[in-house]
Amino acid sequence: MTASDPVKLKPGDTIGILGGGQLGRMLAMAAARLGLRCQVFSPDPDSPAFDVVQNATCAEYADVEALELFANDVDVVTYEFENVPAATAMVLAARRPVLPAQKILETTQDRLIEKDFVRRLGIGTADYADVSSVGSLRAAIERIGLPAVIKTRRFGYDGKGQAIIREGDNFDQVWEDLGTKSAILEAFVPFEREISVIAARSASGDIECFDVTENEHRDHILKFSRAPAAIPDEVAAQARGIAEKIASALDYVGVLAVEMFVVSGKGAPTVLVNEIAPRVHNSGHWTLDGASISQFEQHIRAIAGWPLGKPVRHGEVTMTNLIGDDILSYEQWLTVPGATVHLYGKGAPRPGRKMGHVTEVTSAPKP
């Protein structure tokens, strides 16, 4: 299969996965159930995804020879994290189909470009400004006001590369601490709740969305996801419509997550987009046990050129992340009725490190 061929895998074909973390691990497990093989490429010899595949490549993302050999062994390439180096994606895309497409990374890897893209679609976001110096930071604060959130334009996740700026803060120190010359300042959103939509889109343009998920963070890291979100039906429909519009505009193939804020207004609540994640997402982990098809299988189906499944939620579902030392209590979860434990096979727990998760399905779906 060449880079320009339409993708139509058959059982026994091989998917290449860039990244060896828990998302790559769960993608490979979903593929195996469908009779598809996976090969994982990661520079980390302790990658948990290596444990569940027969073939793996442990090399740096800049190792062109290793990338070329990897491409020769697979039929299509996907990734478990969005910060794939541009050069890596280019080397692979010249040899095999890469899904989602490389051009999508150019939009979603940069927070400013992503915000501009969303705004051009007529979708609401927090007010924002490009910041490249302490002087432009002061000008942005003057326009947007405080409190506000400053973020690096690239490579931030789980609260890294960002800070809240409040009245009285030393702006010079804030800028120095961020350690970048390329940032974005966003107005602080007094949100009612945080939600996300996990959407899958096929190459033919079919889209399937999972139920809107409500998310709760602790120390900037997702702790709980609950489906369905406790929001009015019209707000849920608005959120799903936004995710579908973004997926279509990107000509996306695979699963993506759109993180949003629900904001109270004079009338009905409104939805603002926070970020797009062009991959399977932590807030979709509940689908492994709480729906008729998981986000991981949907992604595999989409990039394989197979029909998407129609997600049917099994009940009211809560996903709890096991972060750091939370993993030490895994045995207690094994005795909880309706709970399913997922451990990622990582090494020693560290503060802020996602070590596993638990899903609980507690009742029948609402009519």
What is the tens place of the pLDDT at every residue in 52-92? 999 999 999 999 999 999 999 999 999 999 989 989 999 99
Q: Which helix (H) or strand (E) holds 355?
A: strand 354-361
Residue 275 CA to residue 115 CA, distance in Å, equals 8
pLDDT > 90 in the chain, percent: 90
Residue 353 CA to residue 219 CA, distance in Å, equals 12
What is the tens place of the pLDDT at every residue in 13-50? 999 999 999 999 999 999 999 999 999 999 999 999 99
Task: DSSP letter for 126, please.
Answer: -
Q: What does each C-alpha distance from 309 to 35, 41, 178, 238 come to in angstroms?
A: 16, 27, 43, 22
DSSP bridge pairs for 184 = 130, 151
Residue 243 CA to residue 247 CA, distance in Å, equals 6
Helix (H, G, I), strand (E, B) or coil at 361: strand
The CB density around residue 119, as the number of other CB atoms within 10 Å, is 13
Q: What is the helix, strand, coil percentage profile of the chain, to 5? A: 30, 30, 40
What is the tens place of the pLDDT at every residue in 228-241? 999 999 999 999 99
Q: At what angle do helices 64-73 and 86-93 cross, to 10 degrees?
A: 40
Mean pLDDT computed over 334-356: 96
Pick from 202, 216, 210, 203: which is nearest to 236 by CA? 210
Confidence band (pLDDT; 50, 70, 90) for 180?
confident
Beta strands in 52-206 (DSSP E): 55-58, 76-79, 128-131, 148-152, 162-165, 183-187, 193-201
Helix (H, G, I), strand (E, B) or coil at 37: strand
Whole-number pLDDT of residue 156: 64
pTM of the model: 0.95
Position 186 pLDDT exceeds 70? yes
